Amino acid sequence: MKLSYATSLAATFIALSVSLQAVDPPSADAVEAPQPRPNIVVIVTDDQEYFSMPAMRKLLSYPRGSWVNFTNAFAADSLCAPSRATMLSGQYPTHHGVINNQATGQFDHANTLPVWLDNAGYRTGIIGKYHLGRGVKDPPPGWDVWNTRHYPNDIDQHSQMAVEFIRASDSPFFLWLAYMAPHTVAHPPERYQNTDVYMPAVRPNVNEADVSDKPGYIRNRSLLSEETLVNWRNEQRNAQREILAIDDGVQAIIDELAATGQLNNTMVIFISDNGMSWGSHRKIGKWCPYEECSRIPLLIRYPGAPGNRNETRMVSNIDITATITQYAGVTPTIPQDGRSLLPLLTDSATAWRDSVLLERHVNDDYYGIRVPGWKYIESQSGFKELYDLTNDPYEMQNVANRPQHAAIQANLAQQLQAIKP
């Protein structure tokens, strides 16, 4: 059944205090799709850097338990459209064809997560930002509810629409809630416009003095003026205030699932499409291999998870589709580049990969590999970058081609060739 949405602004969400609930350990077959088929809610934020997360106090209190917080999650391509296409297809941009925000016409809308779930009997809905080349009047296949309008200060309205979708749905359902926040220009709701909000510390690599060891698209940037830095710091503050409203929305969705008796049969995924650089390496924006752009928040509430915990192993947004399809018991119709995260949700000792791939396909294209403690990048121009993240977490010293690091560079170059699409 399709849902008709009102267009008036939603009522203000009120912060609710919740307590963590203990969860029984999962059975041996916890990774199998439960019966009846479970519900899935995916909450996607827009340009939310990993380092912004302390502002989300409600989410980080792990409302109603069973959360896994992936602290080393990355976007394969740190740009909106390629990242969203990856999460809806399970493929790298090299394979699905959306390599920038203008190449969305390359995307195969007939072979996507909503199509597979819709064919399996799911009620599917998208609320918010789609950004893959289709307009509101031309919804692609697979979506039963298509509400992709977004406009300033829409956070509360989209949250309320999500609550209404859940309330009106018969199980099973799949909801893709895609806030257009905290993307610039930020418009926090009135209740948060003057709030003293958590602000990430100014990173030492902001307005980096010496970028001579960086690739051309960084090396050619001028130092940012003091006025520019102040203006963007204020914009970042408003983005953090928007995150408070998103936090309210996540809480409201969890509470609605609990109130309707569906929480224990629903997976909830919270993720951003990419990060955001607020002046690091002289860059304002995204679409770079550095931690500010590529590292993203990812938290999953899984009813079978044994309590709440952090998961530090390397995961990627290419893993989202494989996770959802395994959980729902459906089979993708195209090859998957990612792996299901279900084993990590239930077993902290399960064997897993130790690297993720980073890529970009415009200007100075690159492929990169991120492993614990190191990052290695090869640009199409032949320029190479190597960062010792243990001793240089802000990636200010490119140590590529230094004799003392020749062995690690050669090893990472070999690993990169092995995982490149």
At 70-95, the pLDDT tens digits run: 999 999 999 989 999 999 999 999 99
Two tokens, residue 137: 């009047």
Burial call 78-92: b when 16+ CB within 10 Å, e when fewer? bbbbbbbbbbbbbbb
Cα–Cα distance measured from residue 155 to residue 161, given in angstroms and rounded to the nearest whole number: 10
pLDDT at 315 over 50: yes
* pLDDT tens profile 146-180: 998 766 669 999 999 999 999 999 879 999 999 99
Determine whether 43 is exposed, middle or buried from the number of CB atoms within 10 Å of its CB (0-12, 13-18, 19+): buried
Tally of domains in the chain: 1
In a domain, 13, yes or no: no
Phi then psi for 73, rounded to 5 degrees? Answer: -105, 145
Phi then psi for 45, rounded to 5 degrees? Answer: -100, 170
Query: Contact, 83 vs 103, CB < 8 A?
Result: no
* pLDDT tens profile 374-384: 999 999 999 99
Phi then psi for 67, rounded to 5 degrees? Answer: -105, 145
Helix (H) or strand (E) holding 69: strand 67-70
pLDDT at 57 over 70: yes
List beta partners, residue 206.
Answer: 280
Q: Where are the alpha helices (DSSP H) in 211-360?
A: 216-219, 226-259, 291-294, 319-328, 342-346
Cα–Cα distance measured from residue 48 to residue 11, given in angstroms and rounded to the nearest whole number: 24
Phi then psi for 40, rounded to 5 degrees? Answer: -135, 130
DSSP 114-139: HHHHHHTT-EEEEEE---SS--TTSP
In a domain, 404, yes or no: no
SS3 384: strand
Instruction: State residue 259's pLDDT score.
Output: 95
What's the mean pLDDT when you consider all of the chain? 89
CA distances, 314 to each of 252, 363, 409 (Å): 30, 27, 19
In a domain, 74, yes or no: yes
Range of the domain at 213: 39-342
In a domain, 170, yes or no: yes
Using only C-alpha atoms, the chain has a radius of gyration, in whole angstroms, of 21
Instruction: State residue 137's pLDDT score.
Output: 55
SS3 43: strand
pTM of the complete model: 0.90
Burial call 271-301: b when 16+ CB within 10 Å, e when fewer? bbbbbbbbbbbbbbbbbbbbbbbbbbbbbbb
Query: Contact, 324 vs 283, CB < 8 A?
Result: no
Query: In this structure, what is the dihedral angle of CA atoms 9, 54, 258, 183, given to the nearest 10 degrees?
Result: 30
Instruction: State residue 11's pLDDT score.
Output: 37
Top-ranked range on mean pLDDT: pick from 23-32, 317-326, 338-347: 317-326
**Intra-chain end-to-end CA distance of the chain, in Å:** 40
Instruction: State residue 349's pLDDT score.
Output: 83
User: Sorting pLDDT into bands at 50, 70 and 90, what band is 41?
Assistant: very high
What's the whole-number mean pLDDT along residues 388-412?
Answer: 98
Instruction: State residue 388's pLDDT score.
Output: 98
pLDDT at 130 over 60: yes
In a domain, 325, yes or no: yes
Percentage above 90 pLDDT, the chain: 79
What's the whole-number mean pLDDT along residues 289-304?
Answer: 96
Helix (H) or strand (E) holding 366: strand 366-371
Two tokens, residue 68: 């896994």
**CB-CB neighbours of 202 under 10 Å:** 14
Instruction: State residue 134's pLDDT score.
Output: 56
In a domain, 163, yes or no: yes
In a domain, 213, yes or no: yes
What's the whole-number mean pLDDT along residues 315-332?
Answer: 97
Estimate the crossing angle of helix 155-168 against helix 226-259, to 10 degrees: 20
Phi then psi for 221, rounded to 5 degrees? Answer: -85, 140
Rounded to whole angstroms, the maximal C-alpha distance in the chain is 64
Indicate the residue type of 22: A
Query: Contact, 165 vs 127, CB < 8 A?
Result: yes
Report the half-sphere exposure of 397 (CA within 13 A, side-chain side). Answer: 10
CATH code at position 43: 3.40.720.10
In a domain, 327, yes or no: yes
Residue recorded with tokens 């931690």: 291
What's the whole-number mean pLDDT along residues 121-133?
Answer: 91
